[in-house]
């Protein structure tokens, strides 16, 4: 659980994740208001999917959120927001390394040796 929170807080520092979360929250909030007008709801979901794909790149969970939004009745579920939060929580590309973590030298892996370096 801590890793998910740490991952979300680390991702939150990136403007692209803040923009994605803002887009998802606004789309879900506007979605409540246009439930009775399906064409407007579809347009809103298409625009949301396009913006999120542009900001985050192609990610399979975004397609699952789009599928949820297409099903009548499930449109009230805040799928965009939950998927963006889940993706941000599992984002590990930019997580800082812990102090004292053991890091393998990539050159030693190629040579077949097991030399390690301690990060401080």
Question: Which of 115-118's residues contact partners 24+ apart within 8 Å by CB, and which partners?
Answer: none
Torsion, CA 27, CA 28, CA 33, CA 36, rounded to 10: 100
pLDDT of residue 89: 82
Give the list of residues 6+ apart from residue 106 with CB closer than 8 angstroms, or none.
Answer: none
Domain boundaries along the sequence of the chain: 2-118
- How far apart, in whole angstroms, are the C-alpha atoms of residue 88 and residue 106? 28
Give the list of residues 6+ apart from residue 78 with CB closer than 8 angstroms, or none.
Answer: 24, 28
Predicted TM-score of the model (pTM): 0.68
CB 67 within 8 A of CB 17: no
pLDDT of residue 115: 52
For the beta carbon of residue 87, count every other beta carbon within 10 angstroms.
23
pLDDT along the chain (120 residues), means of 10: 70 83 92 87 93 91 88 83 87 52 50 52
């Amino acid at each position: 659980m801590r890793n998910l929170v740490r991952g979300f807080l680390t991702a939150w520092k990136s403007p692209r994740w803040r923009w994605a979360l803002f887009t998802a929250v606004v789309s879900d909030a506007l979605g409540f208001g246009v439930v009775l007008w399906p064409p407007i709801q579809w347009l809103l979901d298409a625009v949301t999917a396009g913006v999120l794909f542009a900001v985050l790149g192609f990610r399979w969970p975004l397609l699952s959120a789009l599928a949820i939004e297409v099903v009548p009745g499930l449109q009230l579920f805040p799928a965009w927001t939950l998927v963006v939060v889940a993706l941000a929580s599992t984002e590990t590309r930019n997580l800082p390394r812990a102090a004292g973590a053991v890091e393998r030298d990539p050159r030693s892996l190629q040579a077949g040796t097991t030399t390690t370096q301690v990060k401080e």
